[in-house]
Amino acid sequence: MTTLEPFTERIYVTRPVFPTIEEVTEKLRDIWLAKWLTNNGPQHTMLEHELKNFLRVPCLSLFNNGTIALMVACQSLRLSGEVITTPFTFAATPHVLTWNNITPIFCDIDAETMNIDADKIESMITPHTTAILAVHVFGTPCDVEKILDVADRYGLKIVYDAAHAFGVEIGGQGIGNFGDISMFSFHATKLYHTVEGGALTMRDEHVKQRIDLLKNFGIKNEEEVVMPGINGKLDEVRSAIGRIMLGYVEEERQRRIRLHAIYNEELSGVDGLKLMPKCSADVKLNYQYYVVRIDEKIFGRSRDFVYDEFKNYNVFTRKYFHPLCSEFTCYRQLNSSTVSNLPVANLIGQQVLSLPMYGGLSADDVRKICVILKSFKR
Ligand code: T4K
């Protein structure tokens, strides 16, 4: 079982969960019968309702992807000037700010959770700051209380990029209840997906109404267009797939819980490897990713060595998130992008590696990945 032969087939960092073709065909038949393909059809209405219940949030608005959703979130709150965010995230997070004519201000991250360091946010606030855009990286919740405290004291809005946090809860409350607006991504590579898609969640029905206008060109009715909106609509086919996929989430999550446990069991105690952060007992996690940090000085091999070497075994890991957003050519000239402002993020960006994590992996696959990883140690 745990030989060091390469895997016979490529093992990717993740694989999408697929519904059966029969389930999809059945739903497509409904769509064909209704002759309604997009623009607020019945599948869309039903999915919005079902997701609102699933995520335990008062209001939810569906989108064609998470990035457009986040752009609309910034528009709906009329954010401007500067927004404080994390450099340790996917490119979409700072890009939506730039697309809204807002300057991203990068704040360093916490060495344990890898989320924005709530204790450092205050020092980044200027008279131009309008909001905090925090990311629940790898599904680990941000310090929502501290972020609320600083936002309240300075009158700032809070937007959470919850792209990785589908189904995560704090103390029985859906993660989408925190902040003014949260964004979820339903991309194919996520625990839950609609092929491409996303959603915003919010507490205020009036905010939802504004968001629903913004994602439909600002069209109020056949006579009135009340704001410069965009096309952020999720169509009927993807909405229908999303309805099917809701039936798959919990089983997929359970499979990943088991695989996480095997990774933890096999890798804990290996000098130079830091495993996923521990969360308090009242947090329900989704186990979407499994990330290790490799300390080259102790492990004897760099993260880049491990990443390259894994390929010889047909294992395709990912360096989520390297390079940091503050290292992108479009952001590195910002004052907040200096290494001295972001020491923790720069260190973690060099160490982090996302290992394969999806329900289709077997326990033996994960054990073998761990044996391979441990064999690299010097
Ligand atoms: N905020 C954050 C914090 C995010 O992480 C993301 C997206 C967003 C915002 C924006 O949300 P969206 O607009 O995407 O809804 C992937 C995803 O495309 C992206 O959604 C995700 N974050 C990011 C972390 O990961 P890539 O460029 O790494 O994807 P890709 O195509 O390399 O796929 C990863 C692996 O998955 C492949 O090596 C193989 C496997 N795969 C992928 C696809 C698409 C398959 O087996 N089948 C497939 O169909 O960005």
Tens-place pLDDT, residues 37-62:
999 999 999 999 999 999 999 999 99
**pLDDT tens-digit map of 165-224:** 999 999 999 999 999 999 999 999 999 999 999 999 999 999 999 999 999 999 999 999
Instruction: State the average pLDDT over residues 113-126.
Output: 98
Q: Locate the domains of the chain by residue range.
A: 21-246, 249-375
Average pLDDT, the chain: 97
**pLDDT tens-digit map of 351-364:** 999 999 999 999 99
Residue 2 has pLDDT above 60, yes or no: no
Residue 3: predicted pLDDT = 57
What is the residue with the minimal CA distance to atom 12 of ligand 1?
A: 66
Q: Residue 24 corresponds to which tokens in the numbers above?
A: 């999809």
Pocket test for ligand 1, best of 68, 187, 357 (most atoms within 8 A of CB): 187
Pocket of ligand 1 (CB under 6 A): 12-16, 65-67, 89-90, 92-93, 135, 161, 163-164, 185, 187-189, 198, 316, 318, 320
Instruction: State the average pLDDT over residues 297-313.
Output: 98
CB-based burial of residue 318 (10 Å sphere; 0-12 exposed, 13-18 middle, 19+ buried)? Answer: middle
> Which is the CATH superfamily of the domain at 249-375?
Aspartate Aminotransferase, domain 1 (3.90.1150.10)
Residue 219: predicted pLDDT = 98
What is the residue with the minimal CA distance to atom 38 of ligand 1?
A: 12
Q: Residue 14 corresponds to which tokens in the numbers above?
A: 């993740």
Residue 347: predicted pLDDT = 98
Give, as one character, the DSSP assignment of residue 323.
S
Asked if CATH classification 1.10.3720.10 holds for the domain at 21-246, the reply, yes or no, is no
Give the span between the Cα atoms of 326 and 345, in whole angstroms.
9
CB-based burial of residue 9 (10 Å sphere; 0-12 exposed, 13-18 middle, 19+ buried)? Answer: exposed
Residue 131 has pLDDT above 50, yes or no: yes
Residue pair 38/236 in contact by the 8 Å Cβ criterion: yes
pTM: 0.97
